[in-house]
Amino acid sequence: MGASFDDVEAQKHFADDQGFPYRLLADTTKEMGRAYGAEQEEKPWPRRITYLIDPEGTIARAYDLAGEDLEAHAQVVLDDIRELSAA
């Protein structure tokens, strides 16, 4: 799942444009962004963070993507899923 502070229409357009096979959450009140530490007081958009959440709902890993290569990041997350699944 993905989330941003954009409204539903903007999220739908972005997901369609990018061909995302998953849903995006429109966090227009920024409530979820605040809860997950993604809100930036000085900027109107959230920090780009990925959370790997286990089946019990616990955050297993957190990744701050400021300045990171997103394609390389996807592989890191997949590797971590494999590692955590084997444990």
pLDDT tens by residue, 43-83: 888 999 999 999 899 999 999 988 888 788 989 999 999 99
Given 3-state DSSP classes, what are the helix, strand and coil percentages for the chain, each rounded to the nearest 5?
40, 20, 45
| Residue bearing the bigger pLDDT, 67 or 84 | 84
> Do 35 and 58 share a domain, yes or no?
no
> Do 70 and 87 share a domain, yes or no?
yes
Alpha helices in 1-87 (DSSP H): 8-18, 31-35, 70-86
Torsion of CA 79, 66, 63, 6, to 10 degrees: -110
Query: Model's pTM, two decimal places?
Result: 0.76
Largest CA distance in the chain: 41
> Do 3 and 40 share a domain, yes or no?
yes
Q: Which domain holds residue 76?
A: 48-87
